[in-house]
């Protein structure tokens, strides 16, 4: 049997047995696992964008990969990804 995570335990502690009778927790655990998967995917996306910028990819290329405009990609991820090598060398960012 799988151990209950801290997040699951905290969520379960907020439920009152008076209003939420005990049941099989399969659906609850699936929801918690899906939420964790979303968090992990967001972390991977941020890391991937940062790696792309570090490798010198333009916001135009990153935006195309995300299915959004260059500006939308830069607004969403620009504050968390460091400057590209070209930016550090004083070259234009809009490649």
The whole-number pLDDT of residue 86 equals 55
More confident residue, 38 or 93: 38
SS (H, E, C) 43-79: HHHHHHHHHHHHCCCCHHHHHHHHCCCHHHHHHHHCC
- Kindly report the pTM of this predicted structure: 0.62
- Tens of pLDDT, residues 11-55: 777 877 777 777 777 888 899 899 999 999 999 999 999 999 999
Give the residue-averaged pLDDT of 63-67. Answer: 97
Residues 6+ apart with CB under 8 A from 69: 63
**Nearest by Cα to 52 from 10, 4, 84, 14:** 84
Q: What does the alpha-carbon distance between residue 83 and residue 92 come to, in Å, rounded to a whole number?
A: 11
Residue with tokens 């550090």, as numbered in its chain: 88
User: Residue 42 and residue 4: Cα distance in Å, rounded?
Assistant: 23
Q: How far apart are CA 41 and CA 91, in angstroms?
A: 32
pLDDT bracket for residue 1 (50, 70, 90): very low
């Amino acid at each position: 049997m799988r151990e209950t995570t801290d997040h699951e335990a905290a969520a379960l502690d907020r439920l009152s047995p008076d209003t939420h009778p005990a049941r099989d927790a399969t659906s609850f655990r699936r929801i918690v696992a899906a939420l964790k998967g979303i968090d992990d995917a967001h972390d991977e996306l941020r890391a991937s964008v940062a790696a792309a910028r570090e490798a010198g990819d333009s916001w135009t290329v990153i935006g195309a990969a995300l299915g959004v405009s260059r500006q939308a990609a830069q607004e969403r991820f620009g504050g968390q990804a460091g400057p590209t090598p070209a930016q550090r060398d004083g070259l234009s960012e809009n490649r």
